[in-house]
Structure formats: C-alpha cells, structure tokens
A and B are shown apart, each in its own frame.
Chain A
Amino acid sequence: MSVTPDLIREKLTAEIGAIHVDVEDTSPNRCAASFKVLVVSPQFEGKPLLQRHRMVNNCLAEELKEIHAFEQKTLTPEQWEKQKAQ
C-alpha cells in the first residue's frame, strides 16, 4: 500500500478532526516519497507547535515509515482565516 495524498487527507480528517488539509506531493523534487501538508484543526487550539506536529506524526505514524521527507504546517481555524486574509 503506497501513501497517497488522499490517504493522508482521510487520516488527518478522521483522527485529528482536520477541517482543512492541503497535501502537496513533493516527490518529483526529491529522490523518494515526499509530502508537504497544511493541516487546519480546532484540536490544535492552545497547543504549542511541537505538540501539534507530534499529533500529526502520531496520526501518520505508519505512513511516515514509508515517507522520506515530510513538511508540515499546523494551524488552528482562526490562524488559517488570518493567513487567508493576508
């Protein structure tokens, strides 16, 4: 089973209540499976960056075993709205 953007999106939505997920497959730029994700979830509220990233890492633990490079940006819905407005 190979990792796909849809799989990543599904897992993040189901397991950490993501209301918005952007998945960019950056593999063409690198030598192996690589992804860049933007995750927006109310569950990130009040949590420091490291904790948010660990939530994502835990959710995708199985997939990360196969992924070579992984970039992530984690925002609360409020932060995301602010970013969109800029």
Chain B
Amino acid sequence: MNNVLRTTARCLQSGAWHYRTAQNNGELLSVWARLMCSSAAQKNLEEMVKKDKVVVFIKGTPAQPMCGFSNAVVQILRMHGVDNYAAYNVLDDQDIRQGIKTFSNWPTIPQVYFNGEFVGGCDILLQMHQSGDLVEELQKLGIRSALLDQEKQS
C-alpha cells in the first residue's frame, strides 16, 4: 500500500499526467490526451502562421539571433526593409520548436512563412534573395522591398 502511495506521489510531483491516467482509465485515455494536446498545438501554429503576412520561426530574436542561419534570415529581411513581421523564438518554447517541424514537415529552424504558406529555410530565402525572387514574392504580399528604392537611387 505504501509503495503505491509513494509512486503516485512521485508521479504527481513530476507532472507525469499520462502515467496517472494510465493508472486510472487505461492506455486509451492517455493516448487521447496526448493527441488532443498535439492537435491543439498544431491548430495554434496554423493560426500563428496566418496571423501575419511574414512569419518566421528562429532561434533567438531579430534583435539578438542565437544562430547563424536564423541571423541570415533576419538580415535578409532587414535588407529588404521588412521590419513588420512576426518572429517566434523557438528556444523559448520547446512545444513550438518541435511542433513547427511537424507542422511544416521541415526538419530545421529557421522557417519562413509568407501569407500562411511555408517558404523554406535559410537556404531557400538566401537563394530567393540572390535570384531576385524575394523582391517579387514580397511584392505579392503588398510589401515593397527597400532594394527597389536603392536601385532607383544608384
């Protein structure tokens, strides 16, 4: 009897919610709980990527990127004069960090979304920038790239 109490106390402390439900109602309930949590998280991500025209998931923040690839994304957007975008720091939230990889079906961070649509990671954004495609894509979003004005000046 003591053993059961001790085990339950330990589970409550560690917040092992799935273990407790398994004890009470069997495996099925715990699987359902996990599914509900993950689909709720996915739905949240869907809203997040649609809420703003430009959405990026990076390590760190635009002011202080914590990874070279994330920094590249921030710098490219800055060069084009895009300063009004949503940036989510995956280092702050492990659920987002893992969730967005599942949601996008893309294995790495950073991740870029335009108008709720996945664009790619740092490589793709860089190539789009170099090829001129990025200026065009921004135009489709109704954003005028700063590079267009620079060209006019020179």
User: Which residue numbers of A lie inside 8 Å of B, CB to CB?
Assistant: 49-50, 53-54, 57, 61, 64-65, 67, 69-73
Contact = CB atoms under 8 A, between A and B. Distances in A.
Interface residues of B, number: 14
Contacts, number: 31
A22 to B, nearest CB: 14
Given A57-B106, A69-B108, A70-B107, A50 B124 contact: yes
A71 B123 contact: yes
23 contacts: A49-B127, A50-B119, A50-B120, A50-B124, A53-B120, A53-B124, A54-B105, A54-B106, A57-B106, A57-B107, A61-B107, A64-B108, A65-B107, A67-B107, A69-B69, A69-B108, A70-B107, A70-B108, A71-B69, A71-B122, A71-B123, A72-B123, A73-B123
Interface string B113-130: 000001111111001100
Nearest to A70: B108
Nearest to B118: A50
A64 B107 contact: yes
Contacts of B124: 49-50, 53
A49 B128 contact: yes
Contacts of B107: 57, 61, 64-65, 67, 70
A55 B64 CA distance: 32
Nearest to B120: A50
A61 B108 CA distance: 12
Nearest to B67: A69
B21 to A, nearest CB: 28
Contacts of A71: 69, 122-123
Contacts of B106: 54, 57
B98 to A, nearest CB: 12
Contacts of A61: 107
Contacts of A69: 69, 108
B59 to A, nearest CB: 11
Contacts of A53: 120-121, 123-124
Interface string B61-94: 0000000010000000000000000000000000
Nearest to B122: A71
